[in-house]
Structure 1
Amino acid sequence: MSKLLLKAKRGAGHVAHVTPESAGWTYVGFDLHRAVAGQTVSGRSETKEVCLVFVTGKGVATVNGRDLGLLGERMSPFEGKPWSVYVPEGCDWSVTADTPLELAVCSAPGLGGGLPVRVISPGDLGQETRGKGTNTRYVTNILPENEPADSLLVVEVITPGGHTSSYPPHKHDQDNLPAESYLEETYYHRFNPPQGFGFQRVYTDDRTLDEAMAIEDGDVVMVPKGYHPCAACHGYDLYYLNVMAGPKRTWKFHNAVEHEWLMGR
């Protein structure tokens, strides 16, 4: 199995854990918790900033003892926009599940920006459609670069069954602005219906990295460098939650030259 693929764990608990140390990189952390009603998930941001994304379910959130109220509304990542909480560095946070809850904890280095805690509601989120034909997908920007944060970029994407995504293949592994930014990235995948599957390839121009992975419901893929397109098999819509971070908080990508002609179709 590819070292870039973290297979799904079933049931409740701390079901996914990616750190810069475990991934062999510098910036991105990703954790996924599943809790039953009444259970509490908690942590401390320490020197990192955190974005808590309510992938599914509802819960009461607190940061440094401040009650942020009951957040979350959707019971499936394929139904509407998420609720999220931005947590700056040096904060204690917790979420107590009111319903079955799937909570993503997206993290990256805090840079002392002094930003406040904030709740990000569905009404705050912009959505866009990218691509055309069988390359159409639907993007929800949770923490885009035009919203305040130190390092984190967070986005959700829905790719209909039979469609491709993160395609034509693009990469962002060079600190070469304004042409390209260096960003590490994780993908958290879900399928509807959940027995579905798809594929993701992570590869470099020289093919020193070239991994093709079958992805299933709940899998996490790590993208340290290279191109990283996805394909959703017919009949199964694909959701993924992206977390990106690097030395500069901007998303500037480079398309694979041999496939860039597809942009004109």
Structure 2
Amino acid sequence: MPNLKVKPSGTHGRVTHVTPESAGWTYVGFDMYRLKPGETASGETGEREVCLVWVSGKGKASAGTRDFGTLGERMSPFDGAPHALYIPMESTWSVTAETDLELAVCSAPGGGTYEAKAIPPGTHPPLTRGKGTNVRYVNNIMPEDDSSAHSLLVVEVITPGGHTSSYPPHKHDQDNLPHESMLEETYYHRLNPPQGFGFQRVYTDDRSLDQAMAIEDGDVTLVPRGYHPCAATHGYDLYYLNVMAGPKRVWKFYNAPEHEWLLKA
């Protein structure tokens, strides 16, 4: 099993590159681009589908023969919901930055006859989950009840400083529907202010996998299996962008039984 934490390789250009091969799994890919005004990121989807997420900044986008114009409006991932763009398999895409741009490229195996589609802020209602110091704020980008993709599930979450998230610990590593689905997952982490840090643990019941990681601004964590709770330290809000995919486009998770009492507390 490779190291489950991927540090950014720099501050400019493609700073993160996660493929199924590098992660040692089957479905999820994730790239992060940091572009200056006038710079362009582009790609071909091949046999995969892609969701571009404007984490911060603005950029002109095209997919295949369609021009989607300027997308993006927030200048920080902590300031409102994102713009996103879905691109099906066997297509191309291009984004040219109009401001400093942080662009996530989320990918998974494609299929079907889906079409390129802009996903503006407000497409899905914002959600608040948890209570007390387990409250976090959710922006769904491509949830399972949105039938416009073959494999991809994409969501972002903001966890206030001092709170926990993906908690009580849950997992989704068994193809056992309707009780649990098998989904690989990446977390792209940002901190506000950026010098902060948080924590994430990825572990299985038998502890054959058990990694606890300090997470810093720009880190990506990999969840091939097991439970995967996060904690934001006092004074530093934690943002993460999740990409999930597996053999079925369904998110059904299983809570760690010894911690389920927290849902009733």
In structure 2, the residue matched to 1:110 is 110
In structure 2, the residue matched to 1:63 is 63
Written as runs of structure 1 = structure 2, the 5 A alignment for 1:1-265 is 3-111=3-111, 113-147=112-146, 148-265=148-265
Would the aligned equivalents of 1:8 and 1:217 in 2 still touch at CA under 8 Å? no
Deviations 1:31-69 (A, max 9, x none): 000100000000011000100000000000011132110
Q: Where has structure 1 moved over 2 Å in runs of 4 or more?
A: none
* Letter of the structure 2 residue corresponding to residue 263 of structure 1: L
3-state SS of the aligned residue for 2:167? coil
Between stretches 247-256 and 4-13, larger displacement belongs to 4-13
* Letter of the structure 2 residue corresponding to residue 248 of structure 1: K
Q: 1:131, 1:31 → 2: CA distance?
A: 30
Q: TM-score, normalised by structure 1?
A: 0.98
Q: 2:86, 2:93 → 1: CA distance?
A: 10
**1:240 to partner: Cα distance:** 0.1
Q: 1:262, 1:46 → 2: CA distance?
A: 44
* Letter of the structure 1 residue corresponding to residue 214 of structure 2: A
**1:125 to partner: Cα distance:** 2.5
Would the aligned equivalents of 1:191 and 1:237 in 2 still touch at CA under 8 Å? yes
Q: 2:136, 2:84 → 1: CA distance?
A: 22
Q: 2:68, 2:116 → 1: CA distance?
A: 10
3-state SS of the aligned residue for 1:259? helix
- RMSD over aligned CA atoms reads 0.8
* Letter of the structure 2 residue corresponding to residue 136 of structure 1: V
User: Which runs of no fewer than 5 residues in structure 2 stay unpaired?
Assistant: none
Between stretches 73-82 and 62-71, larger displacement belongs to 62-71
Would the aligned equivalents of 1:9 and 1:218 in 2 still touch at CA under 8 Å? no
Q: TM-score, normalised by structure 2?
A: 0.98
- The count of aligned residue pairs is 263
User: Which runs of no fewer than 5 residues in structure 1 stay unpaired?
Assistant: none
